[in-house]
Amino acid sequence: MTEAKQKRQAEIPAAESEALREQRDRFLAFAFAASDLLLEIGDDSLVRYALGATNQLIGGSPQDLIGTGWLELFAPEDRPVLVAKIGKLTSGKRCGPILVTIVPGRRLAKAADSKARKLSSRGIKVIFNACRIPGREEVVYCTITVANAALAKQARAAAARTESGLLERKAFESAAIETLETTKALGQDVELTFIEFIDAELFRDRVGVDRWQAFCADAGAVMRDGAIDNDAAGAITEDRFGIVHEAGAAVGTEIRRQLQDLAQAFDPAGGGLDVEQATIEAGDGELTSEEAAQALVYAINKVASLGASKLTFSDLSGSFQEQVSETQERIAAFKAVVAENKFDFAFQPIVDLESREISHFEALARFAKGESPYQTIVFAEEVGLIQDFDLASSRRAITYLSQQSAGSPVKLAVNLSGQSLQNDAFVDALMALGKENSGLAGRLMFEATESSRIHDLDRVSRVFQALKQMGFSMCLDDFGAGAASFQYLRALEVDYVKIDGTYTRRLLSSDRDSLLIRNLCELCRDLKIKTIAEMIELEDQVTELSSLGVHMGQGYLLGKPAPQPVFSRPGGSRSRR
């Protein structure tokens, strides 16, 4: 072979390689033309590759993202949607656009940059798109773009809607907030009207299902037509709605009249439907954008819980002031609850799925009649009081166990928020409490809840290790299949994990969830960690969970929360201790 021929053949692969690089660069350029961040996610749910405006979005370099769980980037409420979308994504297909919020979390918690800390507190609205390509099905390619009005509108076009064509509540909240910001920038005055159908169930029964559905479709059209744009109307509940519209000319009153006329036309008896309406000025006065958004969501929540006619303010400033006043009152009331121990426990058993013997009880907080435990705990976390409550709960559980007779079989699990576990004062007090009551170590365990709030895993790991050295068992609550959960498991030494109840609910109809639980159980078995499944309500669920390797369960089938621990014995007899 001549030297010239060898040279030409050597040049061919080089030319092909150059062409591939050129094609790659072209694709990257196209992607960046419409995106701020590119991610490559592996089948282990970890970020393999990142490129783009990471400093703007997460307060760090692209390299900081490599090897981390991709879901950690996003707000907890957005994660289930993203997991579902990615789970259904097949080769050659794409999903999106999806409007979500990036919450940088622990990566920004360590940042010295004040701008980064500010981003961490409020999050960033972004548009998420993803795809899988043939030949590389194990990888998901994602683009993330900071949302602007046009992109957000595009994402909402694909958002969940009711049968009436109205945006569902969460999407409506986002749309309404964005509309307020846009109209404020344009100097345009708008109002927010809330509509409520009174005794809608009676009307539905009277007109029949088909006519009711037709009425809802037409009513949705009336509300969208009255809104400032097609996306500024949404359903808050099944019979309560919100509309952002131009100010003046009694727009809200006209929408109400049209809906009443429409209902009368659909009613064979001619009685129609009573429609309540409340209109507030959306001008936010001296409120910041964040305060106006809070005031808007507060107003929507009020309508959802009380109805349109129960609003006591006429504008967003009034809504914000009422929210502030209500929050201050709730803070004072909650502090009194903690200081005076005005809460109780309801004891729900954790049961061995094979023997049906009770392992221990979870001590669930209960407050004054009518107060939601979940909402109360969430509020305490939001206002920074959860550590006070967690400490009071721990003391209450220790007092309860200390008062039990010698040889009592009662063992308790007490919940500790991830937020509390990162509070130095709380940790110091908890350690002192543990040392003073080390004799109860075999009968008291601690259950870490709200793990998504744990940003400093190393710090919390040291707390877990110290408690375990005293003899207390540790449990990780709400464990899922995402990469974030496995990172917690890798960093935190625990004795138990609680599998999120959503997996139990879908277990009998989802092969994918069965496989996820089986793999989780195998991992936990190798790590000598016992597994607990939540929300068990059916014997078929017990059978399936046992076959997958789950050790224990919790749920109404196995025992409801009760004022005192209730033991089930073989043969069905029950005794209280």
Give the closest residue to 488 by CA, choosing from 466, 514, 510, 520.
520
Q: Over 90: is that where the pLDDT of 473 sits?
A: yes
With contact defined as beta carbons under 8 Å apart, do 262 and 215 qualify? yes
Closest CA to 334 of 271, 301, 292, 378: 378
CA distance 298 to 313: 11
Give the fold, CATH level 3, of 343-576: TIM Barrel (3.20.20)
Q: How far apart are CA 365 and CA 373, in angstroms?
A: 6
Q: What is the per-residue pLDDT across 30-57, written as a single tens digit (0 to 9) for each?
A: 454 456 788 899 888 899 988 887 777 7
Pick the residue with more confidence: 393 or 156?
A: 393
Query: What is the pLDDT, as a whole number, of residue 24?
Result: 52
**Banded pLDDT at 112 (limits 50, 70, 90):** very low
Q: How does residue 406 score in pLDDT terms, banded at 50, 70 and 90?
A: confident
What local confidence, expressed as pLDDT, does residue 170 receive? 85
CB of 449 within 8 A of CB of 484? no
Averaged confidence pLDDT in the chain: 83
Q: If you ran DSSP here, which 8-state letter would residue 344 be given?
A: E
Report the residue count for the chain.
Answer: 577
Predicted confidence (pLDDT) at residue 192 exceeds the cutoff of 50: yes
Are 206 and 264 in contact, with CB atoms under 8 Å apart? no
Higher pLDDT pick, 128 / 26: 128
| Lowest model confidence (mean pLDDT) among 84-93, 152-161, 214-223 | 152-161
Q: What is the DSSP letter of 508?
A: G
Least confident of 17-31, 72-86, 111-125, 544-558: 111-125
Instruction: Evaluate if residue 220 carries a pLDDT over 70.
Output: yes
Q: What is the pLDDT of residue 554?
A: 96
Q: What integer is the mean pLDDT of 122-148? A: 81
**Picking from 69-78, 342-351, 391-400, 557-566, which range would have the lowest pLDDT averaged per residue?**
69-78
Q: What is the pLDDT of residue 11?
A: 53
In the predicted structure, residue 517 carries a pLDDT above the cut 70: yes
Range from 55-64, 216-225, 241-250 carrying the lowest mean pLDDT: 55-64
Predicted confidence at residue 529, as pLDDT, reads: 94
Domain boundaries, the chain: 11-153, 161-327, 343-576
Complete DSSP assignment for 411-440 = -EEEEEETTGGG-HHHHHHHHHHHHHTGGG
Return the pLDDT at 323.
Answer: 87
Predicted local confidence at residue 479, as pLDDT: 80
Structure tokens of 525? 């078995």
**Which 3 state secondary structure label does DSSP give 480?**
coil
CA angle 483, 488, 489 (to 5 degrees): 95
CA of 335: how far to CAs of 57, 268, 329, 421, 480, in Å?
Answer: 36, 55, 10, 19, 33
Mean predicted confidence (pLDDT) in 268-290: 83
Pair 477, 452: CB distance under 8 Å? no
Among residues 120, 98, 87, the alpha carbon closest in space to that of 171 is found at 98
CATH superfamily membership of 161-327: Reverse transcriptase/Diguanylate cyclase domain (3.30.70.270)
Does residue 507 carry a pLDDT above 90?
A: no
Q: Which pLDDT value is given to residue 245? A: 92
- Report the alpha-carbon distance of residue 530 to residue 551 in Å, rounded: 6
Give one DSSP letter per residue of 103-161, joined into a string: --THHHHT---HHHHHHHHH-EEEEEEEE--TT-TT-EEEEEEE--HHHHHHHHHTS-B
What is the pLDDT, as a whole number, of residue 371? 84
Sign of CA dihedral 50, 55, 59, 61: positive
The answer, yes or no, to whether residue 223 has pLDDT greater than 80, is: yes
Among 213-217, 299-303, 368-372, the range scoring the smallest mean pLDDT is 368-372
**What proportion of the chain, given as a percentage, has pLDDT over 90?**
38
The per-residue pLDDT for 572 is 41
- The contacts of residue 327 (CB under 8 Å, 6+ apart) are 383
In CATH terms, the fold of domain 11-153 is Beta-Lactamase (3.30.450)
Stronger pLDDT, 575 or 279, i.e. the higher one? 279
Instruction: Read off the tokens for 162.
Output: 């009711």
Q: How far apart are CA 118 and CA 325, in angstroms?
A: 25
Give the model's confidence band at 157: pLDDT under 50 very low, under 70 low, under 90 confident, else very high. Answer: low
- pLDDT above 90: residue 453: no
Q: What is the mean pLDDT of residues 76-102?
A: 79
The pLDDT of 510-522, averaged and rounded, is 87
